[in-house]
Amino acid sequence: MKIDNYKLLITALGAGYFGLLIANFFGFSTVSTQLEFFLFPAFAITVASSTQYVESKKNTLSNNQKIAVLAILLTTSYILLTILRYWCADTQFAMGKSYNDQGGYVKGQTYLQNAIKYLPSEPIFHSELANSYSGITLSLHELKKDNEALPFIDLAISESVKATTLSPTNVNLLRNQAGVLLKLATIDPKYLGLAKETLISATQKAPTDAKFLYNLALTYMRTEDTDEAVKLLGKVIEMKPNYNEAKNLLNMIHKTF
């Protein structure tokens, strides 16, 4: 197919070349502008020497090619939707955790519930939601609304158990579960036993974590098992000699008992 307006193309290239000369004159030359300095004339010569183009043959896709294109589109769409789902879940979790850290447990639970809708199998989401429910429980208890707090106690335990079930070897989830149970124990002492079992499980999985042993010693103190608390505090100080909280607690026990 002949092209009648190839002169227009040459004119356009000439205008671009002229603009390049002006830029070099008033500015300064670089590697890229020097490259264009030689490419523009080459483009113009190529266009001027060829007054026609061969019309390309229109090809139609075969059925196999159509299936391949469809498969690529579906795979790409799935990957993009998965990435979007992870991004939405992470954003909702970050907002929920931020509210929890500030004591806004009611708003925090809403964002965390949304995060779980996007990624229901993420254990840390359930663990943080359990923290929200335990915080709401304590707030209602302080307002003397224990009847309203009861459902949140069950939800807190359920979410913390779900988190540790999804990732049973994650000691941080056990730490969070123990924290939730210790909060609930301020309302009902029966949860101290569950907290103690959780901390014992955590110390078995992470025997060199002094913080676990210290929290377990505190739990024994709250259950009036002073002898066991003293033994654990001794291990903590032996493991970490600069653990001042453990030293202070042990000194207090010796003075009191």
Q: Are residues 155 and 131 located together in one domain of the fold?
A: yes
One domain, residues 163 and 107: yes
Per-residue model confidence (pLDDT) at position 188: 87
Residue 72 CA to residue 56 CA, distance in Å, equals 26
User: Is residue 222 a contact partner of residue 194, using CB atoms and an 8 Å limit?
Assistant: no
When divided into structural domains, the chain yields a total of 3
Rounded Cα gap, residues 191 and 79, in angstroms: 44
> Structure tokens of 75?
């795979």
Both 28 and 104 in a single domain? no
Q: Return the number of other C-beta atoms located less than 10 Å from residue 14's C-beta.
A: 13
CB 52 within 8 A of CB 3: yes
CATH number at residue 148: 1.25.40.10
The answer as to whether 199 is a domain residue is: no
Q: What pLDDT score does 178 carry?
A: 92
CB–CB of 130/145 below 8 Å? Answer: no
Query: Has residue 56 been placed in a domain?
Result: no
- Determine the Cα–Cα distance for residues 186 and 176; give it in Å rounded to an integer: 16
Which range has the top average pLDDT, 54-58, 116-120, 253-257? 116-120
pLDDT tens-digit readout, 112-150: 999 999 999 999 999 999 999 999 999 999 999 988 999
Whole-model pTM over 0.75? no
Do 76 and 140 lie in a common domain? yes
Q: What is the mean pLDDT of residues 206-230?
A: 88
Both structure tokens of 127: 């663990």
Check residues 43 and 158 and name the one with the higher pLDDT.
158
Q: What is the mean predicted confidence (pLDDT) over 77-105?
A: 95
Same domain, 35 and 114: no
240 in any annotated domain:
yes
pLDDT at 56: 52
Q: How far apart are CA 71 and CA 140, in angstroms?
A: 53
The whole-chain average pLDDT of the chain stands at 85
User: Is 90 exceeded by the pLDDT of residue 162?
Assistant: yes
Residue 38 lies in a domain: yes
pLDDT at 66 over 50: yes
Q: Which domain holds residue 235?
A: 207-257
Distance CA 233, CA 187 (A): 26
Mean pLDDT check: name the lowest of 22-26, 84-88, 106-110: 22-26
- Asked if the structure places residue 54 within a domain, the reply is no
Q: What's 2's DSSP letter? A: B
